[in-house]
Amino acid sequence: MDRYIGIDAHLGSCTIAVMNHRGRRLNSHLVETNGEALRACIKQIPGRRHICLEEGGFSEWLFELLEPLTERTVVVQPRRHQGSKSDFIDAWARADELRRGDIPQTVFKSPGTFSRLRSATRTYYAMREDLKRAKHRLKATFRLRAIPVSSDVYDCERRGVWMARLPDDLRQQATYYADEVDRLTEQRDTVLAWLKTELKKVPDAKYLLSVPGLAEVRVATLLSVVISPSRFRSKRQFWNYCGLGVVTRSSSDWVRDPRAGTWNKRRVTQTRGLNRNFHPRLKDAFKGAAYVVSHNCREDHPWRLSFQIHLDQGMKPNIAEVSLARRIAATTLALWKRKEFFDPTQVKLKTT
């Protein structure tokens, strides 16, 4: 006796819809967003429980809370819905999608695995974004008086020369912004040390750190997001997940030959681009690694030589960097699966 349960979660309440295997709506509940109340409500539902809930701020907590009570728990990215919308409509839609097997894109959840590393990574990215905003505010203060500044303005020891060029009404404002930059810089460095400490506890990190262009932050991002390389059967699936999958689009592909009475494929221009449904931090990590390799690696490194060959053949620099990022991603996945270190002597020079 299977029961398909859809949950629409909010800060104050969770809407729960229960459906049987024939699509009959059996019951619905409105429960406070509380761990004990939610577990008690789910336990009252008889039979084999299958739960579907939307990705959101509570999804990881709900997955960890309810997964032991169910046969299957799925977190999804819901499709765009046209027409009326409410908590009960969304909950019934999730239950029916799970019953029919028409599940939108699922979101991988692995509670407890690399949880401290994931927290450190999230905190580091938050601190980095806050520091970036604070630096923009400080720089914008000098721009109000058309004073072009260098990166010295962010250094507390060399900032005084620039502060002296501001009038009194703006100098106090810039001082507060500068203090915020100093405080956030210190916090970012503290969080980075925490991230590196947690990274040392993961055995697979040493294999990923051997890949050129992947330093501690990028490796921590990969480990905390991907969790396990076995999720991806091939490099193409991994490319799509990282936003590096090439997609083509065309229309009106066939034309009829009136003499032979057959259909022939028309030569049409296909629009090429990268897939739009991806994890942004992974794409940022591999594109950043490609930039490091193409600019900072030794000139005789095979990856940098391949990048330069593409440029000499007339390829645009941004396209060449994407090609390099795809190669780094494929190599990273292979080494991670095999538990091997990167060996530059095994890299083939790619000329096409």
**Residue in 3, 124, 13 with CA at minimum distance from that of residue 58:** 13
Sign for the CA dihedral angle at 230, 231, 237, 240 comes to negative
Compute the CA torsion angle 310, 313, 318, 319 (nearest 10 deg). -80
Is 88 buried (19+), middle (13-18) or exposed (0-12) by CB count in 10 A?
middle
- On whether residue 8 sits in a domain, the answer given is yes
> What is the pLDDT, as a whole number, of residue 351?
63
Residue 294 domain-assigned (yes or no): yes
Task: Give me the chain's average pLDDT, please.
Answer: 92
Please indicate, yes or no, whether residues 18 and 92 belong to a single structural domain of this protein: yes
10-27 mean pLDDT: 95
Torsion of CA 16, 17, 21, 24, to 10 degrees: 160
72 pLDDT tier (thresholds 50, 70, 90): very high
Q: Among 46, 77, 100, which residue terminates a domain?
A: 100
The answer as to whether 255 is a domain residue is no
What does the pLDDT average to over 21-31? 95
Q: Examine the domain organization and report whether 211 and 322 are in the same domain.
A: yes
Domain housing 135: 115-199
H or E segment to which residue 219 belongs: helix 216-226
Of 228, 225, 318, the closest CA to residue 280 belongs to 225
* 103 within 8 A of 177, measured Cβ to Cβ: no
Q: Transcribe 19-85 into DSSP letters.
A: EETT--EEEEEEEES-HHHHHHHHHTS-SEEEEEEE-STTHHHHHHHHGGGSSEEEEE-PPP--S--
* 352 found inside a domain: no
* Cα(183)–Cα(7) distance, integer angstroms: 41
- The more confident residue out of 300 and 268 is 300
Res 257 pLDDT > 90: no
pLDDT category of residue 352 using cuts at 50, 70 and 90:
low
* Predicted pLDDT of residue 250: 79
- Pick from 102-106, 131-135, 246-250, 266-270 the range whose average pLDDT is largest: 131-135
pLDDT at site 142: 94
pLDDT score at 271 = 67
Asked whether residue 269 carries a pLDDT value surpassing 80, the answer given is no
| Statement to judge: residues 209 and 342 lie in one domain | yes
User: Do 141 and 37 fall into the same domain?
Assistant: no
pTM over 0.95: no
Do 84 and 57 fall within a single domain? Answer: yes
Domain edge (last residue) among 199, 214, 229:
199
Are residue 32 and residue 75 in the same domain, yes or no? yes
Residue 106, in any domain of the structure: no
Q: 92 and 122: one domain?
A: no
Dist. CA 30–CA 35, nearest whole Å: 14
The answer to whether residues 10 and 53 belong to one domain is yes
Domain end (from 170, 199, 228): 199
**327, part of any domain:** yes
Q: Same structural domain for residues 52 and 35? A: yes
Q: Can you give the CATH number for the domain in which 30 is found?
A: 3.30.420.40
Averaged pLDDT, 261-272: 78
What lies within 8 Å, CB to CB, of 202 at 6+ separation is: 114, 117, 223
What is the spatial distance between Cα 312 and Cα 307, in angstroms, rounded to a whole number? 9
DSSP string, 118-156: HHHHHHHHHHHHHHHHHHHHHHHHHHTTT----GGGGST
Mean pLDDT of 299-317: 92
Answer yes or no: do 70 and 145 share one domain.
Answer: no
**Confidence class of residue 129 from pLDDT cuts 50, 70 and 90?**
very high
CA 301 to chain centre: 29
Is residue 262 a part of any domain in this protein? no
Tell me if 269 is assigned to some domain: no
Task: Report how far Cα 183 is from the mean position of its chain's Cα atoms.
Answer: 28
In a shared domain, residues 120 and 94? no
Residues 124 and 227 in one domain: no
Domain count, the chain: 3
Across 91-102, average pLDDT: 94
